Amino acid sequence: MKKNFKTIISVIAVLLIAVLVVINRNSVKKQEEMADKMQLSFIVNDGEKIYYYDETSADYINFDTQMKRKNGDVFDKTYSGIEMAVILKDISVTLSQNTDIHIVCADNYEIRLSADEILEKGNIYLITKENGNKLAETDGPFMLVINNDEFSTRWAKNVVQVKVNEK
């Protein structure tokens, strides 16, 4: 009897895990499809807003930055993108000290940004091009660049969603 019970519990656990994997996979697939259409999901206070990224916008700019490695190597890069503060303003998000912002990537990597970081002019960009070329498939279509992050440890590749909680 104990053996049958353990087998049944094991089968139920495996089925539950399989269902959760399928649900998660479909959710990520939808987000990746949106990104391919230059759309990005913003979850703002539990409601969704879709941002339509426009490379022809006057806010889409080229900017130079340096990527540093811990071994001392320095790489000059030119990126093209829109400041995150501009994007948030476009979708009517007002930043305050209590605003909580999380950037979510296709692999579920997530970073937290403060309102001060975002509001700092020339600091945080959502980019689509590196050195004049579309981002590599492993990096994009959207990548978050934080200019003031000396070793680019908080940069985020394959951004698929932004969560904003206006407290």
> Considering the entire predicted model, what is its pTM?
0.79
Residue 69's pLDDT is 76
Whether the CB-CB separation of 59 and 82 falls below 8 Å is answered with yes
Residue 2's pLDDT is 67
Please state whether 55 falls in left (phi above 0), alpha (psi between -120 and 50) or beta: alpha
Residue 115's pLDDT is 93
Whether the CB-CB separation of 126 and 87 falls below 8 Å is answered with yes
Q: What are phi and psi of 39, to 5 degrees?
A: -115, 145
- C-beta atoms surrounding 71 within 10 Å: 5
For residues 122-133, give the mean pLDDT. 94
Whether the CB-CB separation of 159 and 40 falls below 8 Å is answered with yes
Whether the CB-CB separation of 34 and 41 falls below 8 Å is answered with yes
- Strand intervals (E) in 53-158: 61-68, 74-83, 99-105, 110-113, 124-130, 133-134, 143-146
Task: Categorize the per-residue pLDDT at 26 as very low, low, confident or very high, splitting at 50, 70 and 90.
Answer: low
Distance of CA 84 to the CA centre of its chain: 11
Q: Alpha carbon of 70 to those of 21, 144, 154, 157: distances in Å?
A: 36, 20, 14, 19
Q: What is the pLDDT of residues 60-98, one digit of tens each?
A: 999 998 877 778 788 888 999 999 999 999 999 989 888
Q: What is the pLDDT of residues 142-153, one digit of tens each?
A: 999 998 887 788
Residue 50's pLDDT is 92
Give the residue numbers spanning the domain of 44. Answer: 2-166
Residue 7's pLDDT is 78
3-state secondary structure of 136: coil
Q: What are phi and psi of 122, to 5 degrees?
A: 75, 20
What's the number of domains the chain is made of?
1
Q: Look up the CATH number of the domain holding residue 78.
A: 3.90.420.10
Dist. CA 89–CA 98, nearest whole Å: 16
